[in-house]
Amino acid sequence: MSAPVETVSRDATVSDAATKMRDDEINALIVTTSTPSIITSTDILDAVAGGRDTSEMDVTELMTEDVETVPPELQVDEAAAMMTNFGIKHLPVVERGDYVGMISSTDIAAQVS
C-alpha cells in the first residue's frame, strides 16, 4: 500500500491531475467527492488518444465514481482477486471513513515476487 493518499479536487482540470501524477510519480489520484472517485493515467491517456481536448477539461469528466474501496487489513491475495474480478489496477484503502492509502497492481506484483 502506498501512503499517504494523493488527492485532487473535483474542481481541478485534467491537466492539473496529470501534472500532479507526473510530479509525484504515481498513476492514480483520489478525487475529493462525496462518493469514492478516482482518476488514473489510463483515463487521461484514453481521452487524449480518443482525440478529446483535455486542456481545460475537469477531472469529473474522466473520473470513475463509486469505486471499490478496501480496509487496511485486507490480505494481498484478496486485493489481487478484487483487481482481477473488477478489471482494475487501483484500490483505495479506507479506515473509519478516511482514505489511508492506495493499493496498486504494482504493489501486488512487488509483494508476490
Per-residue model confidence as pLDDT tens digits over 42-81 = 999 999 999 999 988 999 999 999 999 999 999 999 999 9
Grid cell at residue 5:
493518499
Alpha helix (H) residue ranges in 1-104: 14-24, 41-49, 76-86
Q: Say if 1 falls within a structural domain.
A: no
The CATH number assigned to the domain holding 49 equals 3.10.580.10
Query: How many other CB atoms are found less than 10 A from the CB of residue 70?
Result: 19
Q: Say if 99 falls within a structural domain.
A: yes
Q: Say if 20 falls within a structural domain.
A: yes
* 42: containing domain: 7-112
34: confidence class by pLDDT, cuts 50, 70, 90:
confident
Give φ, ψ of 90 to 5 degrees: -140, 140
Q: What is the pLDDT of residue 111?
A: 85
Q: Say if 39 falls within a structural domain.
A: yes
Report how many domains make up the chain: 1
pTM for the structure as a whole? 0.89
The pLDDT of residue 91 is above 80 = yes
33: confidence class by pLDDT, cuts 50, 70, 90:
confident
The pLDDT of residue 110 is above 80 = yes
Q: Say if 2 falls within a structural domain.
A: no
The pLDDT of residue 113 is above 90 = no
